[in-house]
Amino acid sequence: MINILVTGGNGQLATCIKDVESQHDNLNFIYTDYLELDICDLKQVQAFFESNKQINYCVNCAAYTAVDKAEEDVEKAFEINAIGAKNLALVCNKEGAILIHISTDFVFDGKKSEPYTEKDVANPISVYGASKLQGEVKIQQKLKEHFILRTSWLYSEHCNNFLKTMLRLSKDRDELNVISDQIGTPTYAGDLAEVILKIIVEENNLFGIYHYSNEGVVSWYAFAKAIFDESKINMSVSPIKTEDYPTSATRPKYSVMDKSKIKEKLKIEILDWKESLKKCLIKNRS
């Protein structure tokens, strides 16, 4: 039996892992939220691992993800995204566990016009991005046996995300303005959950940083239109520029990621974002 600790156990990615865990009889999952395990407290992390032997994998879904709020709540963002990640790496190193850590496209500045590879220099332009990058660095310094999975525009039928927001707004509005000059790739958290479990089941040891999102390139505006079209919702969506919708945090204008490495090394097959959107909406309706 492979024992797997999943932090951030009430978030959308952890919930998607719960959805597919029944497909794997040889995996035993331990889900925790911050009330059960505060990853910012090193002694608490150590005690948890010691009382739950033997944890073979730790999937770190815990994160401070309020991008705009992080601009003011700097200390908390770094505490969770950097110190928390470092604590998990330290204890995984001591206990012989493999860490699978979820990171973000926001570690890049968005100034490129072609997909970012794992070899591109990270240059975050927000507190959130900087805190997530520092978490990556801390993990690499403290633990050899790790996977860092950078993902983008994560959504699902669970919790709060862009898709759920669009569907909620459609209940009392018939028109929306959505940003059209930020370009990236929506990623269905259910697909990412399956990638994580594939890494574990195959006991892969090709450690390092990997980019994972669905395939394709799209704007938030086009993504919103696709959500409404696929849902058969009559909504008028108008494109606006980033400067027309000011936010506290600066976001990358272009954050498409190159997935060649994860496809070649880990043999991951990746669906187009439109196909995954259809799959998610079917589950959301059921």
pTM of the model: 0.97
In the chain, the domains with their CATH numbers are 2-160+186-215+256-270 (3.40.50.720)
Alpha carbons 165 and 159: distance in angstroms, whole number: 10
And the tokens for 127?
């507190």
Q: Is 23 exposed, middle or buried (CB count within 10 Å of its CB: 0-12, 13-18, 19+)? A: exposed
Residue partners of 114: CB distance under 8 A and separation at least 6? 256
From first to last of the 286 residues of the chain, give the pLDDT tens digit: 999 999 999 999 999 999 999 999 999 999 999 999 999 999 999 999 999 989 999 999 999 999 999 999 999 999 999 999 999 999 999 999 999 999 999 999 999 999 999 999 999 999 999 999 999 999 999 999 999 999 999 999 999 999 999 999 999 999 999 999 999 999 999 999 999 999 999 999 999 999 999 999 999 999 999 999 999 999 999 999 999 999 999 999 999 999 999 999 999 999 999 999 999 999 999 8
**Of the listed 64, 128, 188, 212, which one is catalytic?**
128
Number of residues written out for the chain: 286
And the tokens for 227?
């959500």
Amino acid at position 241, single letter? K
| DSSP 8-class letter at 89 | H
First to last CA, the chain: 32
Phi, psi of 140 (to 5 degrees): -65, -30
Alpha carbons 6 and 213: distance in angstroms, whole number: 20
Q: Is 57 annotated in the active site?
A: no
- Say what the alpha-carbon torsion angle 95, 97, 78, 195 is, to the nearest 10 degrees: -170
